[in-house]
Amino acid sequence: MTVSKTAEKSAEKAGDGTRGRKDAPEGLPEALQLGELSEQLGYVLKRAQLKVFENFLHCMASLQLTPAQFSVLLLVEKNPGRNQTEIASTLGILRPNFVALLDNLESRDLCARIRSTNDRRSHILVLTDKGKAVLTRAKKLVATKHESRLNELLGQANREALLEMLSKIANEF
């Protein structure tokens, strides 16, 4: 360990129990300075993403849908007749990891695998009637509880600008 003496000294000085700001009322636990961290896009991006997912899960509690499950339902609805490989790769999910995800949706009768008659290796994915109904309800929940709150917070125009910039990063970075 090669800690400079000055480092040790300043550390002990800063950590000596009464580290309130000058003339602080009492020894209340002072908040740390984020410093340059709050300027790091990656850091803020990750924190924001966690918050958004957390709120998504909360809004979807009644339907028990995770963001990943919701995205699968949306994509299968928009692209009926595609197989697992196509749906999974579009979502950036590796085929092996997509199996359990689908098993879950299928066991809940939201999605169905159908053996293709053209290529009997592949399973064609379709939403069940229940899956369509659940997805419809899910969309409503997302719109009224989730996205609407983001609109409140940012404003409609800002939210659209945010989406556009994030898309740019996701696609062109």
Which chain residues interact with DNA by CB under 7 A?
A: 66, 68, 83-85, 93-99, 102, 113, 119-123
How far apart CA 85 and CA 115 sit, in angstroms, is 14
**Closer to a second copy by Cβ: residue 18 or 62:** 18
Amino acid identity of residue 75, one-letter, is: L
Using CB under 8 A, which of the segments 20-28, 68-76, 94-102 binds a second copy? 68-76
The binding track of 114-133 with respect to a second copy, each residue x by CB under 8 A or -, is: x-xxxx----xxxxxxx---
83: nearest Cα among 128, 117, 127, 114: 114
Measured CA distances, 105 to 21, 121, 154 (Å) = 54, 20, 33
**Which of a second copy, DNA, none is residue 145 near (CB under 5 to 8 Å by kind)?**
none
Distance of CA 38 to the CA centre of its chain: 20
**Residue from 21, 22, 78, 120 binding a second copy (CB under 8 A):** 78
Residues 86-105 vs a second copy: string with x where CB under 8 A? Answer: xx--x-x-------------
- Contact assessment for residue 125 and residue 47, using Cβ atoms and an 8 Å cutoff: no
Q: Does the protein bind a second copy through residue 17 (CB under 8 A)?
A: yes
Residue 7 or 94 having the CB closest to a second copy: 7
Cα–Cα distance measured from residue 158 to residue 89, given in angstroms and rounded to the nearest whole number: 30
Residue with tokens 């609109």: 151
Q: Give which of DNA, a second copy, none residue 48 binds (C-beta under 5 to 8 Å, depending on kind).
A: a second copy
Q: Which of 156, 155, 76, 63 is nearest to 114 (CA)?
A: 76
Identify residues 29-58 at the interface with a second copy (CB under 8 A).
32-53, 55-56
CA distance 75 to 57: 19
The reply on whether position 138 binds a second copy by CB under 8 A is no
Indicate the residue among 83 and 151 with the shorter CB distance to DNA: 83
